[in-house]
Structure 1
Amino acid sequence: MWLWATAHAVDDLYQGLVPAAVPYFVLDRHYDYVAASGLTLAATLGSSLPQPLLGVAVDRLRIGWLPALGVAVAGIAIGLSGLAHAYPLVWTLILLSGLGVAAFHPAAGRAARESAGDSAAAMSIFAAGGSVGFFLAPVLATPALIAMGVAATVLFIPPAILIAFVLLRGHRRRKARPAAVAHRAGADRWRPFLVLTGIEVLRSTVFFGINTFIELYWIRQLKAPRGLAGVALACFLVGGVAGTLLGGRIADRFGLVRTVQLGGALAIPTLAALRFTPGTLTPLVFAALAGAALNLPFSVLVKLGQDYLPTRPGTAAGVTLGLAVSVGGLLAPLLGLVAQAHGPQGVLAVLCLIPIPALALGTLLPEPPKPL
């Protein structure tokens, strides 16, 4: 579990590096809000569209080397994006980085579930690795981006190469070991899985929206320095790490579906407080609380998706960890249009409303059958 959690952290570091770098493309390269949102769109196109096909391939072929290749491509491409100057080339490199992210998640999610068995808390360790990666992206990138500009992205290539090497070695060792995964009764249940996917899309829309615009909100609306804006994003993401780990423990005690519903209910007031609390320091608390509320159901949604599709754990992970998460970023250009008209504060106001339909969908989820 810890190997996969670490690999997940490195992989999602590159996904988190995109929103961390977007404000510096705006400030250093003079991109407008729509162009900046287009970079988020490139990352999410690459990481979302291939996910279902990759999940099917993982379930049928068990291509265990795929996570290593994926994380290597993700890191090298995003690292080179800051060196490129033409917008089409930057966009293409970020698209390739997204494709690398897409290659990682299905096989990694399947392997992590085999290690976690039926424990939501154990699965939350793997999921929290991704949240840690998102958190580390602004923490590590912001000082480098302030000092060097967007060219600092090249500094993040070495971790991709290192973890790819470790994963390849681990793949060779795992080939000799039998998989150990909890077996569940019944056939695949596509209807609740589609409802769950809708919840994840809505959750990720808010998550990507805040990731993309929270720094610009602090800089442009609250008139805070760049460093404090990076702290705001870091608070949101470290809250997400805590929420992911806490969600797994709550789910083991009170149930998977109740945890999903609780996350939706808590997201609404914390997002409203983040947007409407005055000052530059007090809203940092609500940034952390909003991150925790949004990520409370994250690992639970991953596990619940695999419980609904017991014969297709790779496909389920590809959707819940990849496609549904990334599709939220596809709405980034629309949020960019809102920002063009009403500023980043308008985006945060819109995002306060999105958890409402997610909470309604949560009432339609059944608890999965118990493992045999």
Structure 2
Amino acid sequence: MRRRASIILLSVGHACVDVYQGCVASLIPFLVAERAYGYAAASGVVLAASLLSSVAQPLFGALTDRRPVPWLLPASTLLAGLGIALCGSGDSYALTLVCVAGSGAGVAAYHPESARVARLAGGGGHTAMSWFSLGGNVGFALAPLLVAAVVGTGGLRWTPLLMLPALVGAALTLSVLRAPGQRQRLLDPAPAAGPDDRASFLRLSLAVVCRSVVFTGLSSFLSLYAAQRLGGGVAAGTAALFVLYLGGAAGSVLGGRLAGRRDRVTVCRWSYLLAAVAVAGVVFVPGPALYLCVALASAGLYVPFSLQVTLGQDYLPSRVGTAGGVTLGLTVSVGGLVSPLIGRVADATSLRTALAPLILMPVLSWLFFRTLPEPPGPGRRADPPAAGGQRAVPKSWVQ
């Protein structure tokens, strides 16, 4: 029960951090409306949040591999919230970029260490990791509603109210870190479970990058695209973004359950094929069916989400912080590096033309997964028994 409670609290804390990644995309329509940003300028905001996060994430992962730093969890949560809270405080484009970049740095600091802590708390099982990942996806799903409620009511000058989730997340994380007997266990580095498979981890990382490009591209421009296609204004765009993030939450839980029946690599392959078809539907299918295609695309992209985290940690058992930083954090942030290119193409042609190449990204992820083996390790369908014939974690978390 203590293990289950830790995972639940970490999952909610994860939601309180990733809500700020979702806030960046959710703020785009309001920045366009209040400050008359073009597609390129709007995508520059996404780039600012993603660039520093993408560069710093592996560095924080290497840091946590050398020395566990659990205090980063509450500190980075507060930094992520502070950046978004201040981004609407002035009309300066440069100030906005600095604020969202600071929020991205907080996100970068959070994910590698949180992945290590979640792996310890869940015993390495992929179902526990899927619940932890679910928290982040719920945070994404709540971001459009939160931004619409706050910024839609009072404008960008009300963004300081968006600091509230960070305060809640930091408090929850501290409660986990201060639990009896927990502190010393989190400070002790876990022993490596076997040799590193760097070649497989590199191919997995490339699949993660392709997934990141398509998801970030959709999340950055879907609200504007849905408003154009459906003629419902900001409400239609907010609804589409909510469906995108909610489908991701459902996909994360589904991924953990499917991996209990089939190996993780197979589940990821089929999910990326579904995502490719669904993204094509988002771009080309007319009318309200757009929402169904968005939901299927999101689920297809998020079923592999938590499975990629445990796969990466099993490929690099001696560097679980780095593996978590790449597969859990970089999977979201690196796609923002491509957003300015999508914005420029959209300004020069149309948003549909700019989004069409995203259809190829899940196909590339599928091709990379065709070359990956299912690694040994605690993230497999059943965890190995501990000494004395007892399972290392409760059965409900791994099956």
With the shorter chain as reference, the TM-score category is over 0.9
* TM-score between the two structures when normalised by the length of structure 1: 0.95
Q: In the alignment, which of 300, 306, 315 is matched to residue 313 of structure 2?
A: 306
Q: Is 1:55 the counterpart of 2:55 in the alignment?
A: no
The equivalent of 1:74 in structure 2 is 80
Q: Any runs of at least 4 consecutive aligned residues in structure 1 with deviations exceeding 6 A, and if so which?
A: 178-184
The equivalent of 2:393 in structure 1 is none
Q: Report matched runs for 1:218-297 at 5 Å.
A: 218-279=226-287, 281-297=288-304
Aligned partners of 2:128, 2:22: CA distance in 1, in Å? 23
Aligned partners of 1:102, 1:268: CA distance in 2, in Å? 28
Please state whether the residue corresponding to 1:303 is helix, strand or coil: helix
State the Cα deviation string for residues 307-328 of structure 1 (Å, max 9, x = none): 0011111111111112243111
Report the CA distance shift for 1:13/1:178 in structure 2 as closer, same or farther (over 3 A).
closer
Q: CA deviation at 1:219?
A: 1.9
Aligned partners of 1:157, 1:170: CA distance in 2, in Å? 21
Equivalent pair of 1:221/1:344 in contact (CA under 8 Å)? no
* TM-score between the two structures when normalised by the length of structure 2: 0.89
State the Cα deviation string for residues 263-302 of structure 1 (Å, max 9, x = none): 11111111111222211x2211111111101111000001
Equivalent pair of 1:117/1:182 in contact (CA under 8 Å)? no
Equivalent pair of 1:138/1:234 in contact (CA under 8 Å)? yes
State the Cα deviation string for residues 138-162 of structure 1 (Å, max 9, x = none): 0221233322222332211022123
Aligned partners of 1:268, 1:309: CA distance in 2, in Å? 28
**1:206 aligned partner, one-letter code:** V
Equivalent pair of 2:83/2:99 in contact (CA under 8 Å)? yes
Equivalent pair of 1:115/1:181 in contact (CA under 8 Å)? no
**1:149 aligned partner, one-letter code:** G
Aligned partners of 2:191, 2:257: CA distance in 1, in Å? 21
Please state whether the residue corresponding to 2:236 is helix, strand or coil: helix
Q: Report matched runs for 1:1-372 at 5 Å.
A: 1-173=7-179, 174-177=182-185, 185-279=193-287, 281-371=288-378
Equivalent pair of 2:18/2:107 in contact (CA under 8 Å)? yes
Aligned partners of 1:183, 1:304: CA distance in 2, in Å? 17
**1:288 aligned partner, one-letter code:** A
The equivalent of 2:392 in structure 1 is none
| Ranges in structure 2 where 5+ consecutive residues have no aligned partner | 1-6, 379-383, 385-399
Equivalent pair of 1:209/1:332 in contact (CA under 8 Å)? yes
Aligned partners of 1:186, 1:157: CA distance in 2, in Å? 42
Aligned partners of 1:175, 1:239: CA distance in 2, in Å? 35
Equivalent pair of 2:140/2:245 in contact (CA under 8 Å)? yes
Equivalent pair of 1:118/1:182 in contact (CA under 8 Å)? no
| Ranges in structure 1 where 5+ consecutive residues have no aligned partner | none
Equivalent pair of 1:43/1:94 in contact (CA under 8 Å)? yes
Please state whether the residue corresponding to 1:352 is helix, strand or coil: helix
Equivalent pair of 1:25/1:36 in contact (CA under 8 Å)? yes
Report the CA distance shift for 1:185/1:155 in structure 2 as closer, same or farther (over 3 A).
closer
**1:338 aligned partner, one-letter code:** V
Aligned partners of 2:353, 2:151: CA distance in 1, in Å? 26
**1:123 aligned partner, one-letter code:** M
Report the CA distance shift for 1:197/1:178 in structure 2 as closer, same or farther (over 3 A).
closer
Aligned partners of 1:182, 1:248: CA distance in 2, in Å? 23
Aligned partners of 1:130, 1:17: CA distance in 2, in Å? 13
Percent identity of equivalent pairs: 42
Q: CA deviation at 1:166?
A: 3.0
State the Cα deviation string for residues 82-118 of structure 1 (Å, max 9, x = none): 1121000000000000000111111110010112224
Report the CA distance shift for 1:184/1:175 in structure 2 as closer, same or farther (over 3 A).
closer
Please state whether the residue corresponding to 1:253 is helix, strand or coil: coil
**2:254 aligned partner, one-letter code:** L
Total equivalences in the alignment = 371
